[in-house]
Amino acid sequence: MDDIMKELQDLNIGKIKQNELLAHHTTIKIGGPADLFIEPSSVENLAKVMEVINRHKIPWRAIGRGSNLLVSDKGIEGAIIKLGAGMDSLEINETTITVGGGHSLVSLSTLISKRGLSGLEFASGIPGSVGGAVYMNAGAHGSDISNILTRAHVLFDDGVMEWLSNEEMAFSYRTSILQKQRPGIVVEAVFQLESGDKKLIVSQMQKNKDYRKETQPWNYPCAGSIFRNPTPNYAGKLIESAGLKGFSIGGAKISEMHGNFIVNAGNATAGDVLALIQHVKDTIFNLYKIKMETEVEIIGRR
């Protein structure tokens, strides 16, 4: 990796590190080292990074703010590309906004609400990036990204950059085409919002934030919701009815506030979290014959 790192440094594409612990870059504060950790300073430099990665056939993965992510204790082979500063542009044109994939979703929703624009109220407490939110069709409070996105600018793993329409993103519950069929990085998103009453929008935003504070354990490091809701059931209610709230393995613990959250209660490892996930799956299946599927993405060396 030394030669590849030198090549990237010569291109002056942004921040580059070797063996960077991903525990520093995930909201659950867990994760071993990445062979290469790259934070491009612009879309153009991201394209340069992808060209080098493709030429050297390096496996890669993009992250934003590290929510909805569990990284192996053994780390990740290849490169982690983080979208952050330099990838967080914002352009507002009446009710249409074009925003960089590295922009914070929370700060975007707050800023937009103060402009009297409605449509992002659901995102007021989602601690991720715009790119990650589009990638996984993030949602809450009865709405999600698919309801407001008109198109996404995506850099695919072959180096091609393309605009995809809402329909081409193939959105479904917490899913998009980028997760399996066409891996890529969302570098920009275009959202269509609506003009509304600023006071009502800000009030709804605050209600959503308060609800999250009252019902979800954001005072502990966590990755967000662990399991998908097995319709028509709710994952949190199933876990609570099984008596699993507060159950722990090692430093990982099922939140006593919300059954669908696993928190890092103190020096938890990915192994602890994985063991706890499996325990929940086994318990729920034995009790209710329901198969639980994870919403959190689990990546890295096994």
Give me the amino acid identity at 31.
G
What is the C-alpha to C-alpha distance for residues 276 and 213, in angstroms, rounded to an integer? Answer: 24
Question: Cβ(261)–Cβ(216) under 8 Å?
Answer: yes
Helix (H, G, I), strand (E, B) or coil at 38: strand
* Catalytic site residue from 20, 121, 188, 295: 295
Based on the residue annotation, tell me whether 65 is a catalytic residue of this protein: no
Instruction: Name the active-site residue from 61, 65, 151, 174.
Output: 174
Q: Tokens 């509304």 — which residue? A: 196
Buried b (16+ CB within 10 A) or exposed e, 95-132: bebbbbbbbbbbebbbbbbeebbbbbbbbbbbbbbbbb
Q: Do 131 and 82 meet the contact criterion of CB atoms below 8 Å apart?
A: no
Point out the catalytic residue in the list 113, 176, 225, 255.
225
Residue 167 CB neighbour total at 10 angstroms: 9
The owner of tokens 């507060």 is 246
Q: Is 174 a catalytic residue?
A: yes
Cβ 250 vs Cβ 271: under 8 Å:
yes
In the annotation, is 295 catalytic? yes
Short-list 36, 17, 28, 40, CA closest to 65:
28
Residue ranges of E strands in 157-281: 161-165, 184-192, 194-195, 222-225, 248-249, 252-254, 261-264
Tokens of 252: 């990982």
Strand (E) or helix (H) holding 154: strand 149-156
Q: Which residues are registered as beta bridge partners of 225? A: 261
List, by residue number, the catalytic residues: 174, 225, 295
